[in-house]
Structures are given as C-alpha cells and as structure tokens.
Amino acid sequence: MFKALIFCILFCLFGVTLYGQEQSLGRTLFNDQWKFCLGDNQDAKSADFDDSEWRKLTLPHDWSIEGAFSKEHPATNQGGALPGGVGWYRKTFSLPEKDEEKQVYIDFDGVYRNSEVWINGHYLGKRPSGYTSFRYDLTPYLKREGQANTIAVRVDNSQQPNSRWYSGSGIYRNVWLVFKNKVAIDHWGAFVTTPKIANEEAIVQQITSLKNLTGHPVATDVRITIYDQENRLVAKEQYRQSLQDTLTEATFQIKLAKPILWSVENPYRYQVKTQIFVNNQLLDEQRIPVGIRYFSFNARKGFSFNGEPKKILGVCMHHDLGALGAAVNKRAMERQLQLLKEMGANAIRVSHNPPAPEFLDLCDSMGFLVMDEAFDMWQKKKNKFDYSLDFEKWHKKDLEDLVKRDRNHPSVFMWSIGNEIREQFDSTGTRLTRELTAIVKEVDSTRPVTAALTETHFEKNFIAQANTLDVLGFNYKYEQYDSLPINFPHQNLLASETTSALATRGHYDLGYDTLRFWPPSAKEKFVKNGNSDYTVSAYDQVAAYWGTSHEQAWKAVKERDFLAGLFVWTGFDYLGEPVPYDYPARSSYYGIIDLAGFPKDVYYMYQSEWTAKPVLHLLPHWNWKDGQVVDVWAYYSQADEVELFLNGKSLGIKQKKNGEMHVSWKVPFQAGVLNAVSKKNGQTVLVKEIQTAGKPEKIQLKVDKSIMRSGVDDLAFVTVDIVDEQGNLVPTAMNELKFDVDGAGFLAGVDNGFQADLSSLKGSSKQAYNGKCLAIIQAKDIAGEIVLKVSAKGLEGAALKLAVVNDE
Ligand code: GAL
C-alpha cells in the first residue's frame, strides 16, 4: 500500500552558524607543523619514532594530486589516473599551561580514507569513510606540564578502485584541537529549529545536549542570546538547568520579534550564542549562525520557499577543486559558488557524499540550497573496494554524524540517503530505505528525506516501495517524466540528476571514434545529433547515452510544475569519470564550467534562462577555414530578437520560438568580424562581437584580486590569455607557458581545463588550451609582495604584482 498521502509537507527550519561558521569556545585549527611520509611504516605510530627526515607540511593535504597521471594507477582514469597508496602524518605538540586541566579532543573534518589515529602510541580508532567528520577524545592519554605529545595518523587509500570519481588521498580537510571544561555543550550537541515562523514573531528552539563529566550533579545557568546580522542583540533568555547525569538534553525556546527570513536572494543570518555558566563562571560558549526559513514540496505544484513558488535550479558538484585536488580551500570553493551564482543556480547537490563543513558555511552565507547526500552505494558495490565493504558496520554512525553535523545549516534543505543505489532493484532496498530514513528522522525530523533513483516503475522500485521518502528524486529519463505522477501518485518529485552532456571549453567536434564501446542505440543518437553535415555543430548536442542535452533537460523540467526542480550533472568538470573517453582523458566532460573554472558556452544558456540580467553570448569563436560552414549560435535574454552580421553584412534576424533556448545561423566562414545585436521593442539591448584572431603574440594576465590576506590560505586566480597583436584572444593557441612566482606566495596549481592534458596540475608549466590557462597563487603566512611572471617561447611575456597583507 502507498503510505498516507501527503500532498504537502511543510518543513520549517532554522539553521545555525554565525558570520561565516559555527564557533565553539576552545576550538582551534590544528593544521600546521605536520610531518608527512608517503609509504607504509607501522613503527610510525610510536611516540618515539624518528620523523625528522619526513616532509613538513600544513594541512589540508592531498597527496594524490601531487603525483603523475598514469594509465597504470589502479584508480584508473575513472578515479583521475592519479596514485593512491598509504601515507602517514605525525604532529608533535605540547599543551598550553592554561589548558592543562581541560578535556582535549581532536576533530577531523575528513580523511580519505581508512584513517587510523594514535596519540602517544595509544590507538584511538579507525574511520573507513573518507568523507565523514569525526572526533577522538585525547584526554586520558595526554602528557601535561609541557611534555611532548605525538599524534600519528595512518591513511590507507591503497585498495583501488574504490570510487567512481577522483577522491584525493590524505588529511584533505581541516583538523581542529578542542579544549573543553568538564561541563560543556556536547559535540554537535545543539540543534536549532524554528517551530513557529510568522511576520510578527518566530520561536527559536534549541535542543541542547549538555555534558557533565564532573561525576556529581551540577547547577548551570544557560544564557542564550540572539544577535542580528549587524551584531545587534535582538533576544535574550536565561535558564536554570541542573545536570544530573553525564549527558542531559534540554530544550530552550526564545521569541524573536519580526524575524527577517533567510533566502537564496537574501541569505540573512542571525547568530545564536549559547553560554554555560556554573557559579557565574563561563564554562562553555558556542555561536551558531542561523537562517530562518520555511519551505514545502507539493506533488502537483512542485516546490515553494518562504511561501513563494520556486523552481530548484541546481547543479551536482563533486568535491575536488581542480588543480588543488581534494585539499580543502575556502576561497577556491567560494569562487566555484560565485560562478554558479552568477549563472543563476540556486541549489547544489553535494554528490554523492558529505561535503567539507566550509562548503556549507559558504552556501549559508551566499544563498544556496543544498541537497546533502550520504551515500553512493549501500551493501551492493559499484567498485571492488568501495564503501559497500564498510556499509554494514558503519552506515548508522556515518549517517547519524552527517545529520548531526549539518542540521543547523540553513542551506541544507534535504537529506539524500543515496544515489542510484542498486538495492532499488531488490527487496533489501525496502528494508534499508526504512532503516536509513529512520536514522535521519531520529536526528532531524524537520527536513525531507530523498534519494536519487533511476527505476521509474513503482512495482520495480523497492526503495520507493518503502514509502518513507518525502521526495522522490529521479535521475535522467526525461522522456518518462510524465509517467512519474502516474506511477508514483501524490509523491513529491524532483529531477535529482539530469543532462550529462559532454563538452570541452572552446572545442566542439567530439570524436565519434571514442564512442566505439557504446551500445548501438547510443551511437545512433550521437550520429543523429552530433555528426551532422556541418563540421562545427556539436554544441550542447552530445551527451552520455543515458543523458540528454542541457536544453532538452532544462526544457523538460521547466515545463512541468510537478517537478520541484533539477540538479544538472555537473556544475564544474571534476577529476575522474571522463566517460566515454579512454585514457589520456582523466577528468570529466560534463561540467557547465571547466576544471579550471572557465565557463563553457552553455553557461550562458543557463544565465539567460535562470537570471533576470540581459544576456547575449555568441559561439563558437571565429577562426575557421575559409568556406567551412559553421553553425553560429546565440544565447540571449531580455530581448525579442538577435541580428547577426558578418563583416557588416546582415545574416538575418532570429527569434526564439516554441521554448527554444538559442537561435542559430549557418554561416560559411569568412575571416573578419562577426557581431550580434539583441533588441527589445526595436531598441538595442546588447552587442557582442568576435573577431578572427591573428597569430599568437602576447600573454595577457587578469587576476581576481590584487590584495591577498596572509595566514588564511588565500588564493588569487590568474587567467592567462594568449592574444594577437590587437589583443584578441587566439582561440586555437596551445603555447607552452612557464610560471614563475616570487615573494610572499607560491604557485598552488596550474590548469588549462583540458580533460586529457597529462602534465602536472601542480607543476610550473602548462600548455594553454584554446587560448587560455589558469594559475592559482596562494599567499604565504607573511605579509609582502608576490610577483608572478608568465612566459612562452615566441610570445611577449607578462608579469603582475600582488600584495599580501596581514589578516585582521
Ligand atoms: C550518473 C551518476 C553520476 C555520474 C553520471 C555520469 O548516473 O549518478 O554519479 O556517474 O551518471 O553521467
């Protein structure tokens, strides 16, 4: 039987973590002064092991990205063609005198994978999942009074393949050292919700787990203060709470007058400060940024947010940061999100694993909705050594911890218990879905639970048959969308994954040959779409055989109110999964934006559809062979029509009809100037011009900022353009570039966005790809000046200076 029919589920939420991120008294970064050694050595767990020869480094660190691409790595090109292996990290430290009496914990945000941790030779435990955040209690094993303590971490990513994409290897997320009193708020022990939201008043509720390790009952005063975004005190309450046991759960409610709501357009956050006093002495304090918002799904009408209908305009994102590999860097994630925001995306699906906490902080503060996903597989594997081997023992803990960690983020609006899980095809899927949904609801009952499914028939879909999911996500199969409300009546529906179109940036004639191992039907589709009479015509027309073009997928979702929205596969290209291309391809072709962060042409299709700003984008470039017939496309918006001119001669006016998302002309190539003019009511809205470029002559540099901050891993992204005499980008230039960085920074990565480039992403040279390359400069921990010089044989070089100032 179907579960009780729920037409509309209302989820009121109140996220947490103030200006930036959640702060907790006594919690500090523990990233610097680590030692690292690639390779296994069991002796390294001992406190007195000699690591003086080991490499010194600062976390986060990903050793795989430092390796060379090769066909021989067991991860295969699906895993990024980079090495795995075993690595050890060690860090020696002594406790500050003032903290000698404290409970001391170490928090790892994520270690890929199979980490094992020792303190002073004492084994603390193992955590197989590479994406989970976890804590160990160091207190009983610490040496005090200035003596040295040593943490040793063994990371084992040697069994491969264990992932369908690039994972990275090592302690690739932040590590924290946490000093707490015996009376304190428990780890992930505060859960803030808003049981009531009205114009006049909201009720902010915090369920707080309080720890008491004193061994006797303690009377506490719990003071909760709410600040608005301008840091003005807006509400305050004090409660008397006695702690009888080691763990006490207490619920506090505070009224907040005239709440300002959090939304993707105005991600307004309050800060909830909780202080724990015993005999007027402050023992713990935590600040949680909170966004007040409500939303609902409806089986007929889709999604609404803060009472307004809203389409979820989402993209899927894997966690790597291109040339930086998996090593977390907040600025690099912020740049990704800025580009996606400008494109008009309002949601991210963190596929298919828990993200770095900082990613969610950014989504909170920048205004994105997040579908937070737990698993890519349950018991049935997708790869020989993947998480299916650990699922039985660890899924409960990993899932609980994910929800506890992330439940205060206003951006997180759905929990996904899995992607394309194979158990959807047999009855174990029903039992496991019920179990996993119950685990989530036990920790957070305010958000919907979903899964990304592929089976579109209820009687064959054992996950849907569990009848515990609040929203059913379907991946691909857009031709079947209209059957979904029939096959799954009264269910809330979402296009949890779409598209998987293949494209590079600036290069269009994708090779038919590479599809030789695809099924015949897929080849036919490709031939029909991509291999037309026109040499240059495959823009947004070549997709995985289970996928579709960007335009088709978006059109299908746009036209159906019952679909809450979509998540396009993918926002950015990512390392690994270059399907269907063989090695040397080693990163994916699916992104709307390439691995280096340069938008592909289709970016502007989304911008024209998903934003209110006027857009006019012309493609392709204008450097072809004389007489060659070229499909010229224009994406435009906020205009009625576009007129195209070649060397001053009109090639006609075009208008989008019947839901089309671009206009096109077939143009025999002639060197010169191609320009387009978009008009509304006869008035020019935008003009776009592309010139045939001459020979590569010069290097031009553009940087996203000129002043960097020291000590916070700040990055500057430098775009390198190869231009002709007149300064036109040469869209075919592939010159080898050399990078030289001096002063208060270093070269953190180089990339050209080409999926089959085998030179190192961490090296000091790189070929340009279609006229472009990216250099990522990282500030050191000192103030000063950075000089970047870029040179290439036969080209006029370029240099730029960046200032690094002390972080305030
Ligand atoms: C989907 C899968 C994604 C990715 C994609 C590539 O089926 O969920 O993880 O593999 O295909 O097209």
Pairwise CA distance, residues 106 & 177, whole Å: 5
pTM over 0.85: yes
Tell me how many domains the chain contains: 5
| 701 alpha carbon – ligand 1 mean position (Å) | 36
Task: Say yes or no: 350 and 304 in one domain.
Answer: yes
**Residues near 532 by Cβ (< 8 Å), separated by ≥ 6?**
none
Task: Say yes or no: 470 and 393 in one domain.
Answer: yes
Mutate to test the pocket of ligand 1, among 500, 546, 587 (most ligand atoms within 8 A of CB): 500
Pairwise CA distance, residues 543 & 520, whole Å: 14
- Domain assignment of residue 558, yes or no: yes
Mutate to test the pocket of ligand 1, among 318, 371, 497 (most ligand atoms within 8 A of CB): 497
- Domain assignment of residue 514, yes or no: no
For residue 500, give the ligand 1 atom closest to its CA.
Answer: 12
| 304 alpha carbon – ligand 1 mean position (Å) | 27
Tell me what pLDDT residue 78 has: 97
Q: Please give the span between the terminal C-alpha atoms of the chain, in angstroms, as a whole number.
A: 60
- Domain assignment of residue 234, yes or no: yes
CATH classification at residue 306: 3.20.20.80
| 501 alpha carbon – ligand 1 mean position (Å) | 11
Are residues 526 and 511 in contact, defined by beta-carbon separation less than 8 angstroms? no
Mutate to test the pocket of ligand 1, among 419, 420, 478 (most ligand atoms within 8 A of CB): 420
- Domain assignment of residue 79, yes or no: yes
Tell me what pLDDT residue 449 has: 98
| 517 alpha carbon – ligand 1 mean position (Å) | 17
CB of residue 475 inside a 6 A radius of ligand 1? yes
Residue with tokens 């060397």: 647
The conformation of residue 420, written as its DSSP 8-state character, comes to S
Cα–Cα–Cα angle for 654, 658, 663, nearest 5°?
A: 30
CATH classification at residue 770: 2.60.40.10
Tell me what pLDDT residue 538 has: 59
Pairwise CA distance, residues 332 & 359, whole Å: 10
| 477 alpha carbon – ligand 1 mean position (Å) | 13
**CA-closest residue to ligand 1 atom 11:** 500
Task: Say yes or no: 604 and 656 in one domain.
Answer: no
**CA-closest residue to ligand 1 atom 6:** 500
**CA-closest residue to ligand 1 atom 3:** 569
User: Which of 112, 141, 173 is where one domain is finished?
Assistant: 173
Single-letter residue type at 60: P
CB of residue 544 inside a 6 A radius of ligand 1? yes
How many CB atoms lie under 10 A from the CB of residue 723? Answer: 20
How many CB atoms lie under 10 A from the CB of residue 232? Answer: 8
Residue 394 corresponds to which tokens in the numbers above? 């660890």
User: Is the Cα torsion angle 379, 383, 389, 391 positive or negative in sign?
Assistant: negative
Pairwise CA distance, residues 468 & 435, whole Å: 9
| 421 alpha carbon – ligand 1 mean position (Å) | 12
User: Which of 264, 293, 322 is where one domain is finished?
Assistant: 293
Tell me what pLDDT residue 713 has: 93
Are residues 140 and 102 in contact, defined by beta-carbon separation less than 8 angstroms? no
For residue 419, give the ligand 1 atom closest to its CA.
Answer: 8
Instruction: State the catalytic residues.
Output: 420, 497
**Residues near 266 by Cβ (< 8 Å), separated by ≥ 6?**
260, 367
Q: Which residues pair with 779 in a beta bridge?
A: 745
Mutate to test the pocket of ligand 1, among 573, 577, 581 (most ligand atoms within 8 A of CB): 577
Pairwise CA distance, residues 436 & 449, whole Å: 9
User: Is the Cα torsion angle 577, 580, 586, 591 positive or negative in sign?
Assistant: negative
Q: Which residues pair with 176 in a beta bridge?
A: 29, 107
| 391 alpha carbon – ligand 1 mean position (Å) | 21
| 380 alpha carbon – ligand 1 mean position (Å) | 16
**Cα Rg of the chain, angstroms:** 27
Q: Which among 117, 127, 110, 114 is positioned nearest to 157, based on CA atoms?
A: 114
| 761 alpha carbon – ligand 1 mean position (Å) | 24
CB of residue 387 inside a 6 A radius of ligand 1? no
CB of residue 569 inside a 6 A radius of ligand 1? yes
CB of residue 419 inside a 6 A radius of ligand 1? yes
Tell me what pLDDT residue 525 has: 53
Task: Say yes or no: 349 and 494 in one domain.
Answer: yes
| 165 alpha carbon – ligand 1 mean position (Å) | 10
Q: Which among 170, 161, 136 is positioned nearest to 64, based on CA atoms?
A: 170
Classify residue 221 by burial, with Cβ atoms within 10 Å: 0-12, 13-18, 19+: middle
What 3 state SS string does 360-380 have?
HHHHHHHCCEEEEECCCCCCC
Residue with tokens 């010139």: 691
**Spans of the chain, pLDDT less than 70:** 1-20, 507-538, 541, 808
| 375 alpha carbon – ligand 1 mean position (Å) | 13
State which H helix or E strand residue 433 sits in. Answer: helix 428-443
Pairwise CA distance, residues 32 & 711, whole Å: 11
How far, rounded to the nearest angstrom, does the alpha carbon of residue 481 sit from its chain's CA centroid?
A: 27
Tell me what pLDDT residue 520 has: 60
Task: Say yes or no: 767 and 645 in one domain.
Answer: no
CATH classification at residue 92: 2.60.120.260
CB of residue 573 inside a 6 A radius of ligand 1? no
Cα–Cα–Cα angle for 789, 770, 341, nearest 5°?
A: 85
- Domain assignment of residue 534, yes or no: no
- Domain assignment of residue 512, yes or no: no
Task: Say yes or no: 168 and 282 in one domain.
Answer: no
Helix and strand totals (H; E) in the chain: 8, 46
Integer CA distances (angstroms), 22 to 81, 360, 578, in order = 36, 11, 37
Pairwise CA distance, residues 529 & 543, whole Å: 9
Task: Say yes or no: 157 and 204 in one domain.
Answer: no
CB of residue 497 inside a 6 A radius of ligand 1? yes
Tell me what pLDDT residue 297 has: 98
Tell me what pLDDT residue 7 has: 32
Task: Say yes or no: 605 and 650 in one domain.
Answer: no
760 by DSSP, 3-state: which? coil
Q: Return contacts of 474-480, CB within 8 angstroms, 24+ apart.
A: 475/419, 475/420, 476/500, 476/546, 476/547, 476/548, 477/546, 478/548, 478/552, 478/553, 478/556, 478/557, 480/456
User: Which of 114, 141, 173 is where one domain is finished?
Assistant: 173
Tell me what pLDDT residue 20 has: 55
| 318 alpha carbon – ligand 1 mean position (Å) | 11
Residue with tokens 């005063």: 221
User: Is the Cα torsion angle 476, 479, 482, 487 positive or negative in sign?
Assistant: negative
- Domain assignment of residue 136, yes or no: yes
**Structural domain boundaries, residue 304:** 295-503+539-574+587-610
Q: Which among 105, 77, 81, 84 is positioned nearest to 169, based on CA atoms?
A: 84
Are residues 369 and 413 in contact, defined by beta-carbon separation less than 8 angstroms? yes
- Domain assignment of residue 582, yes or no: no
Q: Which residues pair with 178 in a beta bridge?
A: 27, 105
Task: Say yes or no: 86 and 211 in one domain.
Answer: no
For residue 497, give the ligand 1 atom closest to its CA.
Answer: 8
Classify residue 544 by burial, with Cβ atoms within 10 Å: 0-12, 13-18, 19+: buried
Task: Say yes or no: 667 and 552 in one domain.
Answer: no
Classify residue 258 by burial, with Cβ atoms within 10 Å: 0-12, 13-18, 19+: exposed
For residue 476, give the ligand 1 atom closest to its CA.
Answer: 7
What are the backbone angles phi and psi of residue 322, rounded to the nearest 5°? 60, -125
**Residues near 760 by Cβ (< 8 Å), separated by ≥ 6?**
68, 69
Classify residue 200 by burial, with Cβ atoms within 10 Å: 0-12, 13-18, 19+: exposed
| 278 alpha carbon – ligand 1 mean position (Å) | 53
What are the backbone angles phi and psi of residue 31, rounded to the nearest 5°? -95, -20
Task: Say yes or no: 215 and 143 in one domain.
Answer: no
Task: Say yes or no: 197 and 276 in one domain.
Answer: yes
Pairwise CA distance, residues 209 & 189, whole Å: 5
Pairwise CA distance, residues 748 & 744, whole Å: 13
Mutate to test the pocket of ligand 1, among 76, 316, 568, 569 (most ligand atoms within 8 A of CB): 569
CB of residue 294 inside a 6 A radius of ligand 1? no
